[in-house]
Structure 1
Amino acid sequence: MMMRGWKLEYIDHCRNSTHCPELFTEFLRQRRRWVLSELSNMALIFQHLVTLIRNNANFSVIFILSLLQMFLWVLVSPSTTLFILSLSYEILFGVPVLVAIPVTHAALLCYAVVCCVGSRRTQNSVTLVFLAVIALLMLSVGAAFIKYVVDSIQEDMIQGEFQFKPYFLVLLLVSGTIYAALVHPGEWQNLVYGVAYAFMFPAMFVILPVYSVANMVDQSWGTREKATRLGDYWCGSINAEKDSEKIETEAARLPVLTPKTSVAKSELQFWESLKSSLLGTTVNCGRETEWLHHSLTKLRNKCITLTLLLNTVWLGVLSCLYLFANTDIICYVVAGVFSFSLVVQLVGLTSYKIDNCLRRHIIRKVGSSHQIWVKERH
């Protein structure tokens, strides 16, 4: 749709509902689907980038760079997160980085092997243990980091000097998150959940990319898979024998859209045209399960190999910077890789909120029946 000139705009006051995962296993499968969709969508964007820029004015240079940064970040987030944890343990607890990095990287490789060859139950158990270990490491780092910052600030105050230090970048990141929450007054209470999320998202950065790519063969939806019986999503108790007649009566009153009507034919033609023009004939349109499984397995093996190779190379680059450069440079490089898209999102969010507030103010003054302004889109 974007290749044909359709626009995507941000709306801050929309409301939506969905079936959220209720179990840890459902959450994993849902996120696996989301991560793969995000990577494939970004790959399609870069594949058709020239056409998108030509047909869509919303594709600016900053937007493209932020997409590229997010794409690369998802791929290298496991090694980056493990390196940050290793560096934090050296600074806060004195554990050498050159000892922690090989151990953590070996654990990542072993986890990838388990996700590729292990059963679903084995993967879930190992993932849960891996998640708990990284979350505990992050909890210890968070507690020690707070003490480190407080002691450092007190020492600067005693010496009468106050200089910018790399750990201020973490405080700026937290401030940006708080600012984004406060800009949405109706959702600021979600900051309470953000405290728990702050200790969990590093583990997600390590686990989800590897788990998602390794489970590319799994085509399950992730949620709502067990809701196949009558009453699974019924609000309250239901007696099937008592209410079945009532349900059938209500269902009989609903209009039935059959292919015999002209509306159904036009709708069917629309979707068939959309599928053939945008999806093409190379997508799964009734392929045999065995053929699909074999093809996805081959693709999975290539993708997981490239992902692990890329993370190994990136971890080597960060390690070389640590050995031959200043520690501050490491912090600035990691912060730049991580925060660029966040800054773009915060700037876009702020500009939208200002524009939206001005629009609402003018509408209250002149009324909704009057035109505010007309801006021609190119």
Structure 2
Amino acid sequence: MFYEGDVLGHGLLAGSVVSWWLGLVLCTTYINFLKINRIQRTHGLFVRSFYEATFIDQSLLLNTKFDIPKFKGENIKYIMYMYYLLGWKLHRKFYQDYESGMARVIVEENLKKETMNTYLLALDGDTDFQPSSVMLLVDRLKMYPEVGAACGRIHPTGTGPMVWYQKFEYAVGHWLQKTSEHVFGCVLCSPGCFSLFRAAALMDDNIMKKYTITTTEAGHYIQYDQGEDRWLCTLLLQQGWRVEYSAAAEAYTNAPQEFQEFYNQRRRWGPSTMANSLDLLGSGRLTVTKNQSISTLFIVYQILNTAASILGPATVCLMIAGSFSFVFGVSPNLALALAVVPPVVYLALCYNLSTNTQITIAALMSIFYAFLMTASILSIIGDMVLEGTFMTPSGLFFISIVSMYLITALFHPTEFHLIIHGFLYMLCIPSGYLLLAIYSMVNMNNVTWGTRECAGPKPAASAAAGAAAAASTQEPVERNVKLERRCKCCRWNLGLQVGEDQEMIEVSPVSAQQAEPVSANHQEPEEKKGHREDPESHWIAQLVEKSRELTLERHDLDRDEVQFWEGLQEHYLKPLGEDVARKRKIEADLKDLRNKATFVYFICNALWLVATFFLQEIGGAVSIQIPKIYINGTIDPNGQIFLDPIGLMFVIGFALILLIQFLAMLWHRIQTLIHFIAFQGTESAAMKKNMKKSYESLQSEKSHEVDDLPLASRL
């Protein structure tokens, strides 16, 4: 506590604040230059303990990646969890009841009741959420037995422009797209980072059995492995289950902070989303028959959405052409030709350059397109000023988009601040809907995960050979360390290495001879060899060391459970053999599929642009004339606005989609408010009931203690 005039106290306070700020800046700069994977939070950082204790908020913002092992086919982990939880933990006990003599009808009835009331929560390792969010998802599944899965509102976390872009993108996707799917049909994708699934839905016919099939065709790699959560939801919808969205159930997950990682993530999501959408639309008639929540009108709505996403690149080119025409005063057709040249060049480069080079070029072009988008926005505003009215197609389109986003944000008051990122989102539209579409389609044959991967360990023979070669040529051996510092003090070389969570200090004399090379046939001591042959003891030792003050109890699996895991590994988790001929065939099939898909995709955009070009060349002969209306409602008898039929059709279709999504958002907000109020009421009642029970039990314990006291003590 400092008093008025206490110069020393105020000086110390100001000095501590400056020191704290300086430490924050220095630690942030230090971590920023560390060569580590992203989403590792501060798991293996050199200053981790000090940094997280002093600057915990900034530490959480500088989220980097946990080292997640690489799987061939990401749905392997889902198969493992589901077969263990649903097969071994749930289904096995009812099978034992049947073997013990219980009537089959009773066993099936008990099993059905148990599976309908058993839920599985799917999470990512970096997802943060509150228990109330899970309870809100549980409410959806308890109230409606036809609901097979429910997802919540996902908030991306992190820092930087890429995260800001994704914050608004996620917001718009949840505010409008997911709400419209929930209200008029079913949510098409319940993300694996935060979703709740019903056991009965997962165990239904043609779901887990089809979900666990081995990918043998090129299309399977795109649809199944590149978006496993979307593929699982497609199976649920086709089987008749409903997928819902609860806006009040919020969760936070790490988003890509680097441009390259973002492009690689969307390179997987884009083709997978398109493949699953086409699969659902292809079986639309059968899905409408089996799923009561999906109607023919909803299928038509999805067809419009799919068509709009396919024609996204052409739409961006038309926007850029409009800015060229207004700013530089060139003819519309010349402006359109200039707008088409850069994406065509980038398309040709993507077929001939490596993926990293493609992403680098896309990053540079994104900056260029951001300036063009600024010109496009200013050209729309300038056109309204010159015409003296906003009742033009471009003016109405721009004002309706901005107004709808603002009104939608007002209906989400806790997320209204995300509207600030909307300007960055609009500047990045060419990057997200033009360049990213080209990159995703051209690299469709690349079925690697692309994000959250780490280099796997090298084989022992290769590692030994590499060590021998490095030692013989006196070259440093590459090691998996987070930080390495070396210094020379008197006659000693001091080296400090920080790996995962281990510190190794090497001390060796300067004049000491180098260690002898390690040969491939080098014989290890029997003690080390025995330790290496027993990975279980090493894993247990690591687990005990990591647990620190927590006391661990060791329990061994029984024989039946061991057999279950062995059978599961043999049937579903066993790595596929390296069949060179099969691998080459799959690569050739993937390239062939890529070529066909890109041809259809870009020919649709080319036809749209060519049709617009010829309609502009023909001029007023095929244009639609509409009267010029001023803001006050008066009509200019001599003023006419000309529209080409294709442009008018696109504007009407896009406006119809936005209107549908806006109305769905309004209805969903009302339902979310009712659900949240009901949940708060029941939660408060439950808390009061628990507090009353706790108070009564406490009073009872006190009364028993008083009764047990001797009479003299009570007196």
Normalised TM-score (structure 1): 0.78
Cross-structure match for 1:60 = 295
Which residue of 444, 466, 472 maps to 1:216?
444
Task: Tell me if structure 2 keeps the 8 A contact 1:19–1:224.
Answer: no
Task: Tell me if structure 2 keeps the 8 A contact 1:178–1:191.
Answer: yes
Cross-structure match for 1:294 = 588
Shift of residue 259, structure 1, vs aligned partner: 10
Which residue of 245, 248, 258 maps to 1:10?
245
Cross-structure match for 2:392 = 165
Can you list the C-alpha shifts for 1:277-320, whole angstroms capped at 9, x where unaligned? xxxxxxx9987433322111111111112222111111122223
What secondary structure is seen at the aligned counterpart in 2 of 1:126?
Answer: helix
2:458 is aligned with 1:196: no
Counterpart residue identity of residue 448, structure 2: S
Greater CA deviation, 129-138 or 319-328?
319-328
Cross-structure match for 1:354 = 670
Counterpart residue identity of residue 315, structure 1: L
Q: Classify 1:131/1:328 alpha carbon distance in 2 versus 1 (closer, same or farther; 3 Å).
A: same
Greater CA deviation, 348-357 or 338-347?
338-347
Counterpart residue identity of residue 672, structure 2: N
Which residue of 178, 183, 193 maps to 2:411?
183
Shift of residue 169, structure 1, vs aligned partner: 2.0
Cα separation, 1, equivalents of 2:671 and 2:578: 47
Which residue of 319, 331, 335 maps to 1:100?
335
Cross-structure match for 1:320 = 614
Can you list the C-alpha shifts for 1:68-96, whole angstroms capped at 9, x where unaligned? 12211222211121022213432454221
Can you list the C-alpha shifts for 1:143-195, whole angstroms capped at 9, x where unaligned? 3333443554xx45xxxxxx733212211111112222222222111111111
Structure 1 residue runs of 5 or longer lacking an equivalent are 157-162, 276-283, 371-378
Which residue of 277, 291, 307 maps to 1:42?
277
Counterpart residue identity of residue 170, structure 1: F
Alignment of 1:128-143 (within 5 A): 128-143=363-378
Q: Classify 1:125/1:362 alpha carbon distance in 2 versus 1 (closer, same or farther; 3 Å).
A: closer
Q: Classify 1:350/1:259 alpha carbon distance in 2 versus 1 (closer, same or farther; 3 Å).
A: farther
2:502 is aligned with 1:240: yes
Cross-structure match for 1:343 = 659
Cα separation, 1, equivalents of 2:426 and 2:455: 32
Q: Classify 1:362/1:75 alpha carbon distance in 2 versus 1 (closer, same or farther; 3 Å).
A: closer
Task: Tell me if structure 1 keeps the 8 A contact 2:318–2:336.
Answer: yes
Shift of residue 220, structure 1, vs aligned partner: 2.1
Cα separation, 2, equivalents of 1:64 and 1:210: 27
Q: Classify 1:265/1:185 alpha carbon distance in 2 versus 1 (closer, same or farther; 3 Å).
A: farther
Cross-structure match for 1:375 = none
Task: Tell me if structure 1 keeps the 8 A contact 2:247–2:672.
Answer: no
Cross-structure match for 1:160 = none
Greater CA deviation, 22-31 or 8-17?
8-17
Shift of residue 352, structure 1, vs aligned partner: 1.3
Cross-structure match for 1:311 = 605
Cα separation, 2, equivalents of 1:139 and 1:107: 17
Q: Which has the higher contact order (CA 8 A, sep 6+)?
A: 1
Which residue of 236, 249, 253 maps to 2:544?
249
Task: Tell me if structure 2 keeps the 8 A contact 1:69–1:340.
Answer: no
Cα separation, 2, equivalents of 1:365 and 1:294: 59
Alignment of 1:355-374 (within 5 A): 355-361=671-677
Counterpart residue identity of residue 199, structure 1: L
Cα separation, 2, equivalents of 1:183 and 1:268: 52
- Which protein is bigger by CA-based radius of gyration? 2
Shift of residue 212, structure 1, vs aligned partner: 0.8
Counterpart residue identity of residue 313, structure 2: P
2:305 is aligned with 1:78: no
Q: Classify 1:260/1:39 alpha carbon distance in 2 versus 1 (closer, same or farther; 3 Å).
A: farther
Cα separation, 1, equivalents of 2:615 and 2:666: 35
Cα separation, 1, equivalents of 2:261 and 2:554: 34
Cα separation, 2, equivalents of 1:21 and 1:259: 42
2:444 is aligned with 1:149: no
What secondary structure is seen at the aligned counterpart in 1 of 2:294?
Answer: coil
What secondary structure is seen at the aligned counterpart in 2 of 1:15?
Answer: strand
Cα separation, 2, equivalents of 1:230 and 1:5: 51
Structure 2 residue runs of 5 or longer lacking an equivalent are 1-235, 457-479, 484-498, 505-537, 625-641, 687-715
Task: Tell me if structure 1 keeps the 8 A contact 2:325–2:332.
Answer: yes
Cα separation, 1, equivalents of 2:376 and 2:359: 25
Cα separation, 1, equivalents of 2:554 and 2:660: 47
Task: Tell me if structure 2 keeps the 8 A contact 1:30–1:223.
Answer: yes
Cα separation, 2, equivalents of 1:259 and 1:86: 70
- What is the number of equivalent residue pairs in this alignment? 349
Q: State, as a whole percentage, how many aligned pairs show the same letter.
A: 23
Normalised TM-score (structure 2): 0.44
Which residue of 340, 354, 358 maps to 1:119?
354
Shift of residue 4, structure 1, vs aligned partner: 1.3
Task: Tell me if structure 1 keeps the 8 A contact 2:313–2:437.
Answer: yes
